[in-house]
C-alpha cells in the first residue's frame, strides 16, 4: 500500500498529502490518472477510471485508487474482477452490454481496423453465443457465465504495479 501511495503522491505532489491519518478529502482528476504509465496506452483507460470513481465522473480519491489496483491485481477473486470488467465494458452504463457497447469495445480493441460488416458479424455471434435468456443483450449473469469459460481472463485482466 505504501508503494501505491507513493505512486499516487508523485502524480500531484503539491495536492496529495503524505499523511493520511486525518482522512483528507483529496481527489485527483481523470486526466492525471490516465497518464500513468500502466494505463497510458490502454484503450479502456477512461472507462476503468470512471468505473472506480465514487461520483462516476472520473476523479479518484486515494481509496478509489487503491480499490482500482487491488481489483486489477493478482489476488482479486474472479467474481470481483468479473463485476468490474462488466462495468468497464458497459459504455452507456445501463447495466447491460448491448450491441452498441459491443461495437464500441471492438473498435477500441482493434483500433477500428475491422470493416463495419465484420464488426456486425462478430457482435451478432457474440450475442448469439452468450445471451441465454433471449433478450438480445448481455446481462451480468450472461457475462459472468461467459467469462467463466475463458480461462485467460484472470491473467489478462491484471495490471502489475
Partner 1 sequence: MSRSRPPSVTLRVPEDTESDGQEPSPDSEGALHTSFHQLIQEQSSLVEAGLELEMQARGREHPARLDPPDACAAAWPEPGQGEQHPGYSSASLRILASMPSRTIGRSRGAIISQYYNRTARLRRRSSRPPLQHLCRTARPSLRQYDLETDPARATLEDKRSLLVKELLSLSPGQRSHMLLTVPLSLAEKRTLRQELSGQRGAPRQHRVPSSPCGWSKDDIALSCRGLWYRLLSLLPAAQPWHYALKQIGGRFGSSVLSYFLFLKTLLMFNIVPLLILLVFVVALQAAYPPASASPRPFTGLELLTGAGYFTHSLLYYGYYSNATLNDPCASSPNGSACPLAAPPLPYNMPLAYVFSVGVSFLITCVLLVYSMSRSFGESYRVGSSTGDLAARVFSAWDFKVVQRRSVKLQSKNICTQLKELLAEQRSRSRSLSLCQRLGHCAVLLLAWALALGTVLGCVLAVRYLSEHMHAVQQGHRARGSGQRWQEAVPLVLPLVVSLLNALMPHLYNLLALWERQDSPVARLYVAICRNLLLKMVVLGLLCYQWLSRRVVCSAEECWETCVGQDLYRFMVMDFIFTLLDTFFGELVWRLILEKRLKRKQRPEFDIARNVLQLIYGQTLTWLGVLFAPLLPAVQMLKLLLLFYIKKTSLMQNCRSPSKPWQASHMSTVFVTLLCFPSFLGAAVFLSYTIWSVRPSDTCGPFRGLETIYKSGKTWVQVLERSNPNIGWLAWAHQHLLQDTFLLFLVSGVLLAVTYFNVQVVRGQRRIIRLLKEQIANEGEDKIFLIQKLHAVYEQRERRA
Tell me the Ramachandran region of residue 60: left when phi exceeds 0, alpha when psi lies from -120 to 50, beta otherwise: beta
Part in contact with partner 1 (CB under 8 A); list of ranges 5-13, 14-22, 24-32, 143-151: 143-151
Kindly state the greatest CA–CA separation across the chain: 56
d(CA 35, CA 31): 7
Q: Which of 118, 126, 121 is nearest to 149 (CA)?
A: 126
Closest to partner 1 by CB, 31 vs 100, is: 100
- DSSP E strands, the chain: 27-28, 60-61
CB of 7 to partner 1, least distance (A): 13
Q: Which of 156, 140, 98 is nearest to 123 (CA)?
A: 98
Binding of partner 1 by 158 (CB under 8 A): yes
Residue numbers 28-87 binding partner 1 by CB under 8 A? 37-38, 40-44, 54-56, 63-64, 66-67, 72, 76-77, 79-80, 83-87
117 grid coordinates: 460488416
- Binding-residue pattern over the window 90 to 119 for partner 1, x denoting contact by CB under 8 A: --xxxxx--------xx--xxx-xx---x-
What is the DSSP-derived secondary structure letter of residue 138? B
CB of 153 to partner 1, least distance (A): 4
Contacting positions for partner 1 (CB under 8 A): 37-38, 40-44, 54-56, 63-64, 66-67, 72, 76-77, 79-80, 83-87, 89, 92-96, 105-106, 109-111, 113-114, 118, 121-122, 125-126, 129-130, 132-137, 139-141, 143, 146-160
Amino acid at each position: 500500500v505504501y508503494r501505491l501511495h507513493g505512486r499516487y503522491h508523485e502524480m500531484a505532489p503539491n495536492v496529495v498529502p503524505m499523511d493520511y491519518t486525518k482522512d483528507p478529502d483529496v481527489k485527483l482528476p481523470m486526466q492525471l490518472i490516465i497518464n500513468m504509465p500502466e494505463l497510458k496506452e490502454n484503450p479502456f483507460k477512461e472507462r476503468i477510471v470512471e468505473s472506480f470513481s465514487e461520483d462516476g465522473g472520473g476523479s479518484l480519491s486515494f481509496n478509489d485508487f487503491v480499490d482500482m489496483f487491488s481489483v486489477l491485481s493478482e489476488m482479486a477473486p474472479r467474481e470481483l474482477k468479473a463485476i468490474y470488467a462488466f462495468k468497464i465494458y458497459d459504455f452507456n452504463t445501463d447495466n447491460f452490454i448491448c450491441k452498441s457497447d459491443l461495437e464500441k469495445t471492438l473498435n477500441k480493441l482493434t483500433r477500428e481496423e475491422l470493416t463495419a460488416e465484420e464488426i456486425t458479424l462478430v457482435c451478432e455471434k457474440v450475442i448469439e453465443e452468450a445471451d441465454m435468456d433471449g433478450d438480445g443483450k448481455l446481462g451480468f449473469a450472461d457475462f459472468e457465465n461467459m467469462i467463466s469459460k475463458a480461462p485467460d481472463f484472470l491473467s489478462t485482466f491484471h495490471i502489475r504495479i
